[in-house]
Amino acid sequence: MTQIDFYILGEQPSEQFVCKLVDKVYHLSHSIYIHTGSEQQALRLDEMLWTFRQGSFLPHEITSDKPTNPPASPILIGFGYNAQIHADVMINLSAEIPGFFSQFDRVVEFVHGDDALRQAARENYKFYKDRGYSINTHEIN
């Protein structure tokens, strides 16, 4: 069954933390799919993964709804409906839970930002809990 991890972010900018988390997960030899809420967010994250730390290299690409199999990069960024993604970990940056989340070994969710984002995270937590998924929380300050 898919393991769910919620990261509760304090004052740290969430995009910077996402880049650090992607770096860590990648260096643990896991493939990653980052699900964003929009094409604009995917493009911004694509740029950040190139520039978040000097000298770092995280092989990634923005994927389409019909990705190559196997994927060309171990880190994929997508938005919308991407049910054919094959990766170990999904990092969900969208407010909604994508319907294909259970195909991943782990799903990462974030609690941060304004009240609307926090409320969406609470609803996502309740969704997973009501369906019996194992949930871990990590408080980041």
Which one, of 61, 79, 81, lies nearest residue 71 by Cα?
A: 61
Give the rounded distance of the alpha carbon of 84 from its chain centre: 16
User: Helices in 1-141 by DSSP H: which ranges?
Assistant: 14-27, 39-51, 115-130
- List, for residues 15-73, the tens digit of each pLDDT value: 889 999 999 999 999 999 999 999 999 999 999 998 888 887 899 999 866 555 666 79
Domains parsed from the chain with CATH numbers? 3-140 (3.40.50.10110)
Comparison of pLDDT for 118 and 65, the residue scoring more: 118
pTM over 0.75: yes
Portion of the chain with pLDDT greater than 90, in percent? 68
pLDDT at position 33 is 96
Mean per-residue pLDDT over the chain, rounded: 89
